[in-house]
Amino acid sequence: MSKINAFEPRHDWTLAEVEALFDLPFMDLVHQAANVHRAWFDPSEIQLSQLLSVKTGGCAENCGYCSQSAHFKTGLKAEKLMEAEDVVAKARAARDGGAQRFCMGAAWRELKDRDLPKLATMIAEVKALGMETCATLGMLTADQAKALKAAGLDYYNHNLDTGPDYYKDVVTTRTYQERLDTLAHVRDAGMSTCCGGIVGMGETRRDRAGLLHQLATLPAHPDSLPINGLVPVSGTPLGDKILADGAKQIDSIEFVRTIAVARLVCPKSMVRLSAGREGMSRELQALCFMAGANSIFVGGKLLTTPLPDMDEDSRLFQDLDLKPMGSVRAEFVAAAE
């Protein structure tokens, strides 16, 4: 395969072309991805985001990886939507700790109009702190997307989870097209999209290529592209499957390949290491940054799964000569001293 032209993002990738990227020799693949990364970003900068579960558990969807689904017994107790002032206090602490974007997640199948006023207040007040705002609230209507945009929401997260062929093995209560429709509503409202998926659920390399092919052929590439590594939760179908047969879980080199291909097919996206980072070695994270990842979640917790604490991340950043995107945050650096 010829060298990737870093200066011409494409929307006409074929699945065969994406699969061919996965098949490149590992060193060549990472080298090409690193060059594309440098064409669009400062490779020494990493975006820091923090995610808060503002409504935990009781979701009507049956996503086979999720501890928050009402379909599975995982020991997680369903909770009500948090009060706006409590969310803003968490956002303020996240900002003071170095986070640049604050994401609010609710375990819903879809947003209900009755919850819009409280969410609009949360969004507006977090925005007033000087942070980028992001939310993941399930499926949206066109009018709801416009209302969230009017409240000051910058990004909306709605993942595709996996490629279309493996999707039926992950969730059956929401169609792939419904996910694509919500992304269209978000784009039409003028918000940025945050959209990626999960790897290590027992899918094949072709399924991973299928996910990235879908993202690369959207009308606009995701502004943020999270790559989650499955954190297997006992009581969930996919979690139990992986816990019973660890060989089905993605290995580290294949994970780095996925990061590199994501960077190549969506060169201007923020490629984020999301769930699963708690179980990654420092060396694996460094490889991911070399291959084009330039965003992480911080704060010790991602919805219901663990993340490294800020002290650990600060030490990693210092050892790799990385800095938070846009500026060096004294609070973040001081945590490692």
Q: Catalytic positions, please?
A: 59, 63, 66, 103, 134, 194, 272
> Closest Cα partner for 273 from 258, 253, 288, 287?
288
Q: Using H for helix, E for strand and C for coil, what is the string for the chain?
A: CCCCCCCCCCCCCCHHHHHHHHCCCHHHHHHHHHHHHHHHCCCCEEEEEEEEEEECCCECCCCCCCCCECCCCCCCCCCCCCCHHHHHHHHHHHHHCCCCEEEEEECCCECCHHHHHHHHHHHHHHHHCCCEEEEECCECCHHHHHHHHHHCCCEEECCCECCCCCHHHCCCCCCHHHHHHHHHHHHHCCCEEECCEEECCCCCHHHHHHHHHHHHCCCCCCCEEEEEECCCCCCCHHHHHHHHCHHHCCCHHHHHHHHHHHHHHCCCCEEEECCCHHHCCHHHHHHHHHCCCCEEECCCEECCEECCCHHHHHHHHHHHCCEECCCCCHHHHHCCC
| CB-based contact 285:316 (threshold 8 Å) | yes
Instruction: Output the furthest CA–CA distance in the chain (Å, rounded).
Output: 53
Torsion of CA 273, 274, 276, 281, to 10 degrees: 30
- How far is the C-alpha of 273 from the C-alpha of 291, rounded, in Å? 12
| Positive or negative: CA dihedral 151, 154, 160, 162 | negative
Strand partners, 192: 155
